[in-house]
Amino acid sequence: MEFTKMHTLSNDFVVINNIKQYYHLEKNIIKKLSNRYTSIGFDQLLMIESSKNKNIDFHYRIFNADGNEVNQCGNGARCFAKYVRFKKLTLKNNICVSTNTNIIYLKILENNKICVNMGVPLFDPESIPFLGKKSKNKYSLLFNNEQIFFDIVSLGNPHCIIQVNNLSNISINLIGSFIQNHKLFPNKVNVGFMELINSHNIKLRVFERGVGETNACGTGACAAVAVGIKKYFLSNKVKVNLLGGYLNIKWKGNNNNMFMKGDAHYVYDGEINL
């Protein structure tokens, strides 16, 4: 099987061109391929497929390292755009891509930057999904006899955002795993820990569903900014500082689309015997 290794902000991907070749990979095979010690290694696997709609350029599928298919990946979308241009699958700067749940629009800019239209953030519990609660201004769960307060939002995939005073004092893996696997999140959830620097800047670490903590998460960055703008402590343009680098997020609030801008990088092409 031919594949391409890519990354953005050290969030790494394997991209498979299922237009040129076709592979149906079972969950256990994807999980084996994601192992960094015995195989290729990646946070997510991306599949590029032909579109059945003449108005849509490509179809886009995303699989986490545990083999489960998910519906959205912002960093992966930028790698997707970089790939289809780098491999000359399209000459367009504006690319329309379908996913399992929606349509996303990618724009290739100068200086290796790519802008992704992330759509409108959704805050109602059913969109996450989050069980047993009506829509609230703040939610909480009890962890080690302490209340953890958080917000919920969907950017095509589910996010729980926790605002903290100092990221260096937080048990990311323990709290992230607890919330991610809580019964109130039937499809599990990505857990973001946000530290406010000022109204234009935040720090963020994300414990991703089916992966663990990653160096960057595009939808996680958008989710954190969406919460901050909704609650009026962030401006409409925010720089999100992640372990692997930064992203620029823009949102006018309400029912307007959110936009994410960042880079994407080709690493190498390879082949692996399945």
Using DSSP, state whether 29 is helix, strand or coil: helix
Which listed residue (79, 115, 160, 217) is catalytic?
217
Which listed residue (73, 115, 160, 222) is catalytic?
73
Contacts 24+ apart (CB under 8 A), 179-184: 179/141, 179/143, 179/148, 179/150, 180/207, 180/209, 182/141, 183/131, 184/130, 184/131, 184/132, 184/133, 184/141
CA nearest to 192, candidates 169, 163, 168, 170: 163
Query: Quick one: DSSP state of residue 256?
Result: P
pTM of the model: 0.92
Q: Determine if residue 236 is left, alpha or beta; phi over 0 gives left, psi from -120 to 50 gives alpha, anything else beta.
A: alpha
160 catalytic per annotation: no
What domains can be seen in the chain, in order of their start residue? Answer: 2-118+263-267 (3.10.310.10), 125-261 (3.10.310.10)
Ramachandran angles phi, psi of 216, nearest 5°: -165, 155
Give the pLDDT of the chain (274 residues) as one tens digit per residue: 999 999 999 999 999 999 988 889 999 999 999 999 999 999 999 999 999 899 999 999 999 999 999 988 999 999 999 999 999 999 999 999 999 888 999 999 988 899 999 999 999 999 999 997 688 888 999 999 999 999 999 999 999 999 999 999 999 999 999 999 999 999 999 999 999 999 999 999 999 998 999 999 999 999 999 999 999 999 999 999 999 999 999 999 999 999 999 999 999 999 999 8
